[in-house]
Structure 1
Amino acid sequence: MSDPSTPPADLVLVTGGSGFVGAHCVLALLQAGYRVRTTIRTPARAADVRAQLTAGGLDDPGDRLEFAVADLTRDDGWAEAVDGVRFVLHVASPFPTSQPKDPDELIVPARDGALRVLRAARDAGVERVVLTSSFAAIGYGHAPTDRAFTEEDWTELDSGRAVSAYVQSKTIAEREAWAFVHDEGGELQLATVNPVGILGPVLGPDVSSSVELIRMVKEGRLPRLPDVHFGVVDVRDVAGLHLLAMTRPEAVGQRFLAIAGDVMSAQEVALLIRGHLGEAAGRRVSTKLMPAWMLKAVAPFSRRVRDSLPDIGTVRRASAEKARTMLGWSPRPREEAVIATVDTLPTYRSHRS
């Protein structure tokens, strides 16, 4: 029990608390002693958030957890959501398992939702917003390069190179957020966290596309692997970086890439999973690569394959040196993130609501 004479802890709003990253942010904040309010799209999702906290080892947050119903596509509810809040972690954003035909299906809610949250935060006198952006806003649309991307880089949407709707949405939303704070934000502070592929303990049914890839590899649903490389970071470390960006004075006005070590290939991930599962369970995990000609042959019949073609054989490295040196962030090894995903997957099936 807390001392009743102690002033209540700061109240933090987390948008999208029922999502993969959002739930881990709520968990990390409660474990650190904060009071948390999280937005959900419908009251029924409150049970999902509580179930994920229990899965994460926190049985009863008591009155330190509350809920606000708000949707990124509507103005209703946001003034109430930010009332009395000191910090906001804006985590909620659309993340599809496949790319929509119309990019605006992702761009508009990501951009307008971020601006809704920032506007409400400014009007309520919130001190700082930490926006969950992505490496997608940093490392795409560029000519091939061996150098590691940093926070100084921005994805180039007008380079003529193929850029997915999701990448467009994250880039546009983050740029619009910085422009809003600069032009209309008043005293409102902003920092962004730009993770690569997020893996780690699965607490509930709403997971990232990166986790879905691990599920498909583990269950043997990829008889041939695409020649893709991607960065990995543990969701617990992403949540921890959000808290550092929320509280550290030097984080104001800064972007922070989140990656653990170097990139991994799909084949390296499959080999790691197979070795972890052991001979019997790992037998179904394929480590064979799909030739480029085969991918191109399948592409006309599969939107998912078509979406992946620009990434085949491309290596995009990133550096987390800034987060390490400026904030003292120290992520878990990438292998630990992969294994934690594998070990927590069996209980859950992804769904979107």
Structure 2
Amino acid sequence: MAQDRVLVTGGSGFLAGHCILSLLQAGYRVRTTLRKPAGEAALRQALAGAGIDAGDRLEIAICDLMDDAGWDAAAAGCTHVLHVASPLPAAAPKDEDRLIRPAREGALRVLRAAHRSGVRRVVLTSSFAAIGYGRAVARPYDERDWTDTAASGLAAYPKSKTLAERAAWDFVDGEGQGLELAVVNPVGIFGPLLGPDLSASILLVQAMLNGKLKALPRLMFGVVDVRDVADLHLRAMTDPAAEGERFLATAGDFLTMQQIAQALKDGLGERAERVSTRVLPDWFIRLAGRFSAAARQAATPELGRRKTATSAKALAMLGWQPRPAAEALVATGESLFRLGLVSPPRP
């Protein structure tokens, strides 16, 4: 293991940083991709804050998902690849191709480079967004399910993740034969930040703690801790049984936004005094959507819909054991306060 080098794409991201941390803690050498060299110092500082002096066990490759340059060199000499990088903006883009093209074409660039370099296995970070949208099921969603990309009103992000994952499976079934692939499909990822990079899920908690969400739409989310998602990536990377499999990652039943808010209040006490648990009626959200882009984004087919998913496969096949959802949410808030990304309430 000490000689194994793992490529992790998108090293500046929330999940990728935790994957790098877990790999280094497990004794691997890591090469990670960044779009700009300036990101290396911030990454090393974040790892140092978590107690890891990466030294020469961490290498940096400068690559972009939309450019062929550098990917063969990044994959060279690596035994495994964790392809974590994928665009996820805080707001939906006007042109869905701004998400779809980097997700799909980027995944294929990484897979082709891995195949040419003789990598044994790629673990692709997909999403529950590729599983549970555009069609309803009368049971918890699981790995058998796929999002319907032709569904009316489907947002760009679930479409991008579905098309990218489909393309990855098609690749290993075709020109990439011989390359092993496993896929991790997490729900909303929460947990402790290593640095100031804020994913969409973290922005939600930040807005709640800052008191910017005065009332909440009736939307439901799955919750999983970033440390557990990183752990699942390593299990999918090393366990022979994981080849050719998808693994949905959730800490349990989905939570309403009101339940997420209440978990923050219960776990953070006075520091969460600005968190609102007031719920807006669906009709109000739909009416506001006529005048507000943010409200229009919330007024989706998901509004008021109850849904959940199961990680039974990951638990049974890989022995994965996620933390409770409330622990992940409180850890998110704790790290936001620690990093000064949420101002403490006034006395």
The TM-score normalised by the length of structure 2 is: 0.95
Residue 136 of structure 1: aligned partner: 129
The superposition leaves residues 259-290 of structure 1 with CA deviations (integer Å, 9 ceiling, x where unpaired) of: 001111111111121222324x3332111001
The superposition leaves residues 29-88 of structure 1 with CA deviations (integer Å, 9 ceiling, x where unpaired) of: 000000000000011000121122122221x12211111000001000101100100000
Letter in 2 for 1:149: Y
Does the 8 A contact of 2:121 with 2:179 survive in 1?
yes
Alignment match of 2:330 (pick from 333, 336, 339): 339
Letter in 1 for 2:141: F
Does the 8 A contact of 2:2 with 2:27 survive in 1?
no
Alignment match of 2:147 (pick from 155, 162, 181): 155
Residue 345 of structure 2: aligned partner: none
Equivalent runs, 1:323-338 vs 2, <5 Å: 323-338=314-329
Residues 114 and 348 from structure 1, CA distance in 2 versus in 1: closer, same or farther, beyond 3 angstroms? Answer: farther
Does the 8 A contact of 1:204 with 1:348 survive in 2?
no
Residue 15 of structure 1: aligned partner: 9
| CA–CA separation in structure 1 for the residues paired with 2:248 and 2:222 | 11
Partner secondary structure for residue 184 of structure 1: coil
Does the 8 A contact of 1:136 with 1:171 survive in 2?
yes
| CA–CA separation in structure 2 for the residues paired with 1:261 and 1:277 | 21
Letter in 2 for 1:28: S
| CA–CA separation in structure 1 for the residues paired with 2:64 and 2:92 | 21
Residue 267 of structure 2: aligned partner: 276
Check if 1:65 corresponds to 2:42.
no
Residue 241 of structure 2: aligned partner: 250
Residue 291 of structure 1 deviates from its aligned partner by: 1.5
Check if 1:292 corresponds to 2:252.
no
| CA–CA separation in structure 1 for the residues paired with 2:274 and 2:192 | 22
Residue 197 of structure 1: aligned partner: 188
| CA–CA separation in structure 1 for the residues paired with 2:2 and 2:18 | 22
The superposition leaves residues 315-338 of structure 1 with CA deviations (integer Å, 9 ceiling, x where unpaired) of: 221110000000000011111100
Check if 1:113 corresponds to 2:106.
yes
Alignment match of 2:82 (pick from 84, 89, 110): 89
| CA–CA separation in structure 1 for the residues paired with 2:311 and 2:2 | 34
Residue 76 of structure 1: aligned partner: 69
| CA–CA separation in structure 1 for the residues paired with 2:232 and 2:57 | 21
The superposition leaves residues 115-137 of structure 1 with CA deviations (integer Å, 9 ceiling, x where unpaired) of: 00000000000000000000000
| CA–CA separation in structure 2 for the residues paired with 1:161 and 1:139 | 14
Residue 3 of structure 1: aligned partner: none
| CA–CA separation in structure 2 for the residues paired with 1:138 and 1:207 | 24
| CA–CA separation in structure 2 for the residues paired with 1:326 and 1:277 | 35
Residue 304 of structure 1: aligned partner: 294
The superposition leaves residues 92-117 of structure 1 with CA deviations (integer Å, 9 ceiling, x where unpaired) of: 00001010111111000100000000
Letter in 1 for 2:115: R
Moved more, 263-272 or 84-93: 263-272
Residue 92 of structure 2: aligned partner: 99
**Identity among equivalent pairs (%):** 54
Equivalent runs, 1:218-229 vs 2, <5 Å: 218-229=209-220
| CA–CA separation in structure 2 for the residues paired with 1:303 and 1:284 | 24
Residue 177 of structure 1: aligned partner: 168
Residue 295 of structure 1 deviates from its aligned partner by: 1.1
Residue 4 of structure 1: aligned partner: none
Does the 8 A contact of 1:202 with 1:345 survive in 2?
yes
Does the 8 A contact of 1:237 with 1:332 survive in 2?
yes
| CA–CA separation in structure 1 for the residues paired with 2:290 and 2:182 | 41
Partner secondary structure for residue 130 of structure 1: strand
| CA–CA separation in structure 2 for the residues paired with 1:344 and 1:9 | 33
Does the 8 A contact of 2:79 with 2:121 survive in 1?
yes
Partner secondary structure for residue 300 of structure 1: coil
Residue 218 of structure 1 deviates from its aligned partner by: 1.0
Residue 146 of structure 1 deviates from its aligned partner by: 4.2
For these two proteins, the number of residue pairs brought into alignment is 340
The TM-score normalised by the length of structure 1 is: 0.94
Does the 8 A contact of 2:285 with 2:298 survive in 1?
no
| CA–CA separation in structure 1 for the residues paired with 2:340 and 2:101 | 30
Alignment match of 1:259 (pick from 235, 250, 263): 250
Residue 349 of structure 1 deviates from its aligned partner by: 4.6
